[in-house]
Amino acid sequence: MSPLIRTTMIIFIGITFNMTSLTAQATDNNFSVKQKQEINQMIRDYILEHPEILPEAIEILQTRVKREKLELNHTRLFEDGFSFVGGNKNGGFTIIEFFDYNCGYCKRALSTVERLKKEDGNLRVIYKEFPILSETSYIAAKAAMASMLQGKYERFHIALLSNSGNLTEERIYEIAREVGLDENKLVKDMTSPVLERNIQINHSIAESLNITGTPGFVIGDEIIPGALPYAELIKLIKKGRQQQMKKEAN
């Protein structure tokens, strides 16, 4: 393979058919105008002759972009300092859930997540308040975050998601009382501007990861939109652990 063709293929793979980036890359490599024209034509001809490679290349690009976004948001995802951590807080593998307390699918996912925590003693679960459905979703999210100051987040979280139908503001505080929260303290703690800031941080992360609905899960290198059956989550966790072991080995 000639140096020109080899360089062409490296550029082709590296930029995944982006002609604008190709030209810039070619310029950086000091190709002549004629060589750049030849490179562009060769890539175009190759794509037209082998269009079957496009889906595979696009999938590779999407995977690469997804991993880069997860790495970019790693600290905000795993070590933000305010999200509640359930399961084994020192567990060797972590899954992250973005949820809304008014989301019917999140309510369905509750039993699955609780089962995972119960059956996998080495699993760490990070809860990301992601209210998107209504104003009471925001109120419930702030109430849940404020409940951490009374040490009752997990009970309150489960009770809120176990509520049938949409939550009203009155029902949120009723549930708070039912799980033993001091309502007056809770209401006061909910006024902290830090809670709104934390929710906005979660929204920013979700936007970066293209999580537009709830629930949304981050499991290893996978971003999962929507609720999944228990068996599917088990497979993803197993895959994620394998990926983690490879990274740690390297």
Residue of higher predicted confidence among 83 and 23: 83
Q: Are 233 and 215 in contact, with CB atoms under 8 Å apart? A: no
Torsion angle, alpha carbons of 124, 97, 231, 109, to 10: 120
In a domain, 217, yes or no: yes
d(CA 234, CA 240): 10
pLDDT mean over 148-155: 97
d(CA 87, CA 169): 28
Same domain flag for 241 and 188: yes
Give residue 101's domain range: 74-249
- pLDDT for position 3: 45
d(CA 222, CA 116): 17
d(CA 250, CA 245): 9
- The fraction of the chain above a pLDDT of 90, given in percent, is 65
- pLDDT for position 8: 43
pLDDT one-digit tens code per residue, 71-82: 887 999 999 999
- Domain tally, the chain: 2
In a domain, 58, yes or no: no
Stated length of the chain: 250
- Tokens for 63? 């995977």
Same domain flag for 150 and 189: yes
- pLDDT for position 58: 65
The string of DSSP letters for 32-48 reads -HHHHHHHHHHHHHHHH
- Of the candidates 107, 216, 89, 88, the one whose C-alpha atom is nearest the C-alpha of residue 157 is 107
- Tokens for 47? 């794509």
Q: Which amino acid is at 198?
A: N
User: Which domain CATH number covers 80?
Assistant: 3.40.30.10
Same domain flag for 130 and 179: yes
d(CA 138, CA 207): 17
- Taking CA atoms, 158 is separated from 111, 154, 163, 222, in Å, by 9, 6, 9, 25
Same domain flag for 81 and 181: yes
Same domain flag for 94 and 211: yes
Q: Is the pLDDT of residue 116 over 70?
A: yes
Q: Is the pLDDT of residue 29 over 70?
A: no
- Of the candidates 102, 120, 208, the one whose C-alpha atom is nearest the C-alpha of residue 164 is 102
92: left (phi over 0), alpha (psi -120 to 50) or beta: alpha
151: left (phi over 0), alpha (psi -120 to 50) or beta: left
Same domain flag for 94 and 188: yes
In a domain, 116, yes or no: yes
Same domain flag for 181 and 222: yes
pLDDT one-digit tens code per residue, 33-67: 888 788 878 877 877 777 776 677 666 666 676 77
Q: For the chain, how big is the Rg over CA atoms in Å?
A: 24
- Partners of residue 94 on adjacent β-strands: 124
Q: Which amino acid is at 57?
A: A
Same domain flag for 36 and 154: no
Same domain flag for 112 and 234: yes
Same domain flag for 82 and 42: no
Residue of higher predicted confidence among 65 and 3: 65
- pLDDT for position 63: 66
Q: Is the pLDDT of residue 18 over 90?
A: no
Same domain flag for 30 and 113: no
pTM of the model: 0.75
Same domain flag for 33 and 86: no
pLDDT mean over 25-32: 60
175: left (phi over 0), alpha (psi -120 to 50) or beta: alpha
pLDDT one-digit tens code per residue, 169-201: 999 999 999 999 999 999 999 999 999 999 999
Residue partners of 204: CB distance under 8 A and separation at least 6: 76
In a domain, 31, yes or no: yes
- pLDDT for position 166: 80
Please tell me the least confidently modeled range out of 5-14, 86-95, 112-121, 238-247. 5-14
